[in-house]
């Protein structure tokens, strides 16, 4: 998958969650969304993009992907169970 496309998608998801959850909770909500609904390959690629400089990610998206990047690789690979 194209990193530019992933960046666009996570930025759009971030804009949605900023409106729904508020700025202070948006990053966690975005990270949860990515963990639950994105394919593991997509999560690995956005984390790699983040580690390579995070070009193009808005602040909320950058914070959300940072939360994903902090997880052990096994946790990044499987979706979390719904809360």
Provide the pLDDT for residue 82. 47
pLDDT in tens, 50-60: 999 989 999 99
The answer as to whether 65 is a domain residue is: yes
pLDDT in tens, 20-42: 988 889 999 999 999 999 999 99
Element (H, E) at 55: none
The answer as to whether 70 is a domain residue is: yes
The answer as to whether 82 is a domain residue is: no
Structural domain total, the chain: 1
Mean pLDDT across the chain: 89
Q: At what angle do helices 59-70 and 23-37 cross, to 10 degrees?
A: 50
Q: At what angle do helices 23-37 and 40-51 cross, to 10 degrees?
A: 130
pTM (2 d.p.): 0.84
Please tell me the chain's helix, strand, coil percentages from 3-state DSSP, rounded to the nearest 5.
75, 0, 25
Q: What is the mean pLDDT of residues 1-18?
A: 95
Around Cβ 38, how many Cβ atoms within 10 Å?
20
Provide the pLDDT for residue 1. 76
Q: Which domain holds residue 73?
A: 3-77
């Amino acid at each position: 998958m194209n990193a530019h496309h992933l960046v666009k998608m996570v930025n759009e998801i971030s804009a949605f969650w900023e409106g729904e959850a508020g700025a202070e909770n948006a990053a966690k909500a975005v990270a949860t969304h990515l963990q639950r609904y994105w394919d593991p390959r997509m999560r690995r690629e956005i984390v790699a993009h983040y580690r390579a400089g995070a070009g193009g990610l808005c602040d909320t998206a950058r914070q959300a992907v940072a939360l994903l990047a902090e997880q052990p690789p096994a946790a990044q690979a499987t979706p979390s169970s719904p809360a």
